[in-house]
Copies of this chain bind each other. A is one copy, B any other.
Amino acid sequence: MKRFEFWFEFASTYSYPAAMRVEHLVSGSDIELLWRPFLLGPIFGAQGWNDSPFNLYPAKGSYMWRDLERICVREGLPLRRPSVFPRNGLHAARVACWFDTEPWTPEFVRQVYLANFARDLDISRGEVLAELVRSAGGPAAAVLDRAGQPDSKQKLRSQTERAIALGIFGAPSVTVGSELFWGNDRLEEALAWARRDASQSD
């Protein structure tokens, strides 16, 4: 079965609409969706950026917020510009990474994005994450405790290193084997690639 690896970062604005629609998009195909949270901080840091490029480059940032607004209108998604940007998604990413195949994980991911970009909640806070795990159907206290353990921290570090090795430099991204697609506006192309690949290997 062909794998569609969806790479996302909870602070990433364009990852929000992508995360909200990716499961529906891929469902009904023969393609397996894999959720791949990672951290952009180390990647941006290696480029000499200590902040989001949307803050460092104001013209690009202004455009992004307007573009995101148009996308959310089109997708019927709520959007409230976060009072803090970028928010620290480290703990949320550890949860999504360690528990990446739990039945509640996709809904947890969506709830985190809604918390950050529609509800203006601080997704770095334990109480906020606990509520989001619960609302997605997971055992909140056990999940947060487990996700804070050393092997969970290491798993997210390794996943970020794998992202870098795959050539990933931004979010959201999709990889199909070694083929890389970057951006919410490349999801359809990535899926078509996976399907073509799958039919060629039949």
Complex-state Cα separation, A169 to B63, whole angstroms: 9
A70 and B189 contact, CB distance less than 8 A: yes
Secondary structure of the A contact surface, majority rule: helix
Complex-state Cα separation, A60 to B47, whole angstroms: 11
Residues of chain A from 14 to 29 with CB closer than 8 A to chain B in the complex: none
Interfacial residues, chain A to chain B (CB-CB below 8 A): 47, 57, 59-60, 62-63, 66-67, 70, 164, 167-170, 180-182, 185-186, 189
Q: How many copies does the complex hold?
A: 2
Sample of 5 A–B contacts (CB below 8 Å): A57-B169, A63-B182, A67-B181, A70-B189, A185-B185
A67 and B182 contact, CB distance less than 8 A: yes
A66 and B189 contact, CB distance less than 8 A: no
- Give the residue of B62, B182, B186 whose beta carbon is less than 8 angstroms from that of A167: B62
- Give the residue of B63, B181, B189 whose beta carbon is less than 8 angstroms from that of A180: B63
Contacts of A67 in B (CB 8 A): 181-182, 186
Complex-state Cα separation, A47 to B169, whole angstroms: 19
Complex-state Cα separation, A185 to B184, whole angstroms: 11
Q: Which residue of B lies closest to A193 (CB)?
A: B70
Complex-state Cα separation, A170 to B57, whole angstroms: 12
Contacts of A47 in B (CB 8 A): 57
